[in-house]
Amino acid sequence: MGKATREAYGEALKELGGRYEDIIVLDADLSKSTKTNVFAKAYPGRFFNVGIAEQNLIGTAAGLAAAGKIPFVSTFAMFAAGRAYEQVRNSVGYPRLNVKICATHAGLTVGEDGATHQAIEDIGLMRAIPGMTVIVPADATETHQAVAWAAEHKGPVYLRLGRMAVPDVFGESYRFAPGQAALLAEGADLTIIACGVMVAPARRAADELTQSGLSARVLNMPTIKPIDSAAIVKAARDTGAVVTCEEHSVIGGLGSAVAEVLGENAPVPMERVGILDTFGESGTPDALLAKYNLTVADIVRAAKRVVERKR
Amino acid sequence: MSTQLTPEILAELAKRATAVRKNIIEMVTAAKSGHPGGSLSAADILVTLYFAVMRVDPHAPADPERDRFVLSKGHAAPVLYATLAERGFFSHSELCTLRQIDSRLQGHPDMKSVPGVDMSTGSLGQGLSAANGMALAGRVDGKDWRVYALLGDGELEEGQIWEAAMLAAHYKLDNLTAFVDYNGLQIDGPVSEVMSPLPIPEKWRAFGWHVLEIDGHDYNAIYDAIETAKTVKGKPTMIVAKTVKGKGVCSMEGIADWHGKAPSSEECVKFLAELCG
């Protein structure tokens, strides 16, 4: 097991803080959980805790960016994308300000806190904002690189991070590129497209499928917006069927984004593995992933269904 | 301390304010929509800021060393546009494009398109947070430029205002000066009846701000309050400016209905005559 993407975020921030003097980090009383405390310790003069006030968190970041700073703001995804949605839209998105919203504890795997704290619509909300880049890293390596890219990029970015440790997917040679899918396995019968914590299970599912005589291409899709349309269309043309996997509602997230590309360019049978238009509940992350159909077995079943539909 | 403006500057401000008010009425009439009441109430404050106080250069609107202004009550865009045009940021002739298709002058201020607009605002309650961020940025860099913000009294009903009020006091943002344009009226009627944010000065004092109460149409009082705020250390300053909605046009003054309604062309002629008289 590797580490949580939020851990990698804290480390990356600290490293980037030395390289970019204009980085300012803001948090809303969750700096120990979001790991911005790592930056705060290294650069106390450039860290501001705004207290439990997420609307003001986003608005303050907008003002910092308007004055030339590179603000990184963090809180749980529910509050960054949900509670402060309108501030993100109007104070950051509309003026295209250079604010990096690095939201942690996204998805069901925040666990026992239950439905009120499980952001499962945030990708949909954020990608609907014009000009917003939406990144969902799969592991620590990808997170580190995505945070570094965000610091360099001029414009608003939403980076979705998780609470739990996730397996390492990428080696040190991996290079994150915005708007580009990464090919993790080659296959001919279908393509599995995954993001975030579902990338590792997607790879395992592909391995299991070989025992049923099916070869699956596996794509990691770290940027939901801009999405890699070319890779999706190629996958559809090469393999004729697509399964998407995300720890998010099937409405509005990766599955929706891929369906939009396929529908307009290369319609093929498709199945979406994700949360089926329902709220979560309290439980351990693993129990929740099982109950809400986000396991390797669920991906394998979806793959078999979609291949069946090709015939 | 009492800082007085010279008679020459006072005369200049009065002349500029009349021109700004004239433009507000004309541009809202031409647009057939917009917010004249709360634009007219804030005109004297904006004119004082832009013609007697703020370090801005119309030829270098994005100068990093400039003072910043955030119109948190973004629906008063006409007063900001008219003041910026009067100050030379863009041509007066552009004012008549307000709210029309392809115009830079959007219904609410857009920092990406209009020279001199420091923050995009309009959704109430968000401007003070942005002003905080600017003030923090200036603080981090040890800069001497200052940040000004103008809030509506009805806007104080938004919860985010009080989140921002806490932050500014907590981080001792003495490079930030804000105004409440206290005209007492919001869309549905008197603020005291719709959802009272009163008493306003006491609330800001309780949140840790240095608070001044002035007549928001008295140039000497506005200027003196701003100069006083510059001397206050360790606290942001809130200037609660008692104003009159529709100020300057007798038949618009004190009427909530003129919050967000455009005059007809006949009314426009009448209002302009009242202004000159």
Summarize pLDDT for A160-170 with one digit per residue, the tens. Answer: 999 999 999 99
The per-residue pLDDT for range B51-94, each reduced to its tens digit, is: 999 999 999 999 999 999 999 999 999 999 999 999 999 999 99
Angle, alpha carbons A127-A148-A22 (nearest 5°): 100
- A29 CB neighbours in chain B (<8 A) are none
CA distance A92 to A66: 10
CB contact under 8 A, B120 and A87: no
Distance from CA of A145 to the nearest CA of B (A): 26
> How many residues belong to chain B?
277
Question: Which residue of chain B comes nearest to A61, CA vs CA?
Answer: B133
The per-residue pLDDT for range B195-215, each reduced to its tens digit, is: 999 999 999 999 999 999 999
- For chain A, say whether B167 makes contact (Cβ under 8 Å): yes
- For chain B, say whether A49 makes contact (Cβ under 8 Å): no
User: Which pLDDT score is estimated for B1?
Assistant: 58
Residue B277 predicted with pLDDT over 60: no
DSSP A159: E
Mean pLDDT of A171-199: 97
CA distance A305 to A299: 10
Interface test with A, best of B65, B140, B151, B176 (most A CBs within 10 A): B140
What are the φ and ψ backbone dihedral angles of A27, each rounded to 5 degrees? -140, 160
Mean pLDDT of B31-41: 96
Q: Could you tell me the domains of chain B? A: 7-276 (3.40.50.970)
Query: pTM of the prediction?
Result: 0.96
Helix (H, G, I), strand (E, B) or coil at A150: helix
- A84 CB neighbours in chain B (<8 A) are none
The per-residue pLDDT for range A236-287, each reduced to its tens digit, is: 999 999 999 999 999 999 999 999 999 999 999 999 999 999 999 999 999 9
- B70 CB neighbours in chain A (<8 A) are 63
Mean pLDDT of B228-250: 97
Per-residue confidence band for B128, with pLDDT thresholds at 50, 70 and 90: very high
A11 part of the active site: no
Using CB atoms, which residue from B130, B135, B138 is nearest to A62? B130
Helix (H, G, I), strand (E, B) or coil at B95: helix
**Catalytic hit among A7, A11, A54, A121:** A54
Per-residue confidence band for A311, with pLDDT thresholds at 50, 70 and 90: confident
Residue whose pair of structure tokens reads 């129990």 in the numeric block: A287
Q: List b or e across B226-252, with b for residues whose CB sees 16 or more CB atoms inside 10 angstroms.
A: bebbeeeeebbbbbbbbbbbbbbbeeb
> How many residues belong to chain A?
311
Using CB atoms, which residue from A58, A66, A94 is nearest to B118? A66
* CA B145 to centroid of chain Cα atoms: 18
User: Which pLDDT score is estimated for A299?
Assistant: 98
- For chain A, say whether B68 makes contact (Cβ under 8 Å): yes
- Distance in Å from the first CA to the final CA of chain A: 39
CA distance B245 to B253: 5
Which residues contact residue B196 at a Cβ distance below 8 angstroms, ignoring those fewer than 6 apart?
none
- % chain B with pLDDT above 90: 96
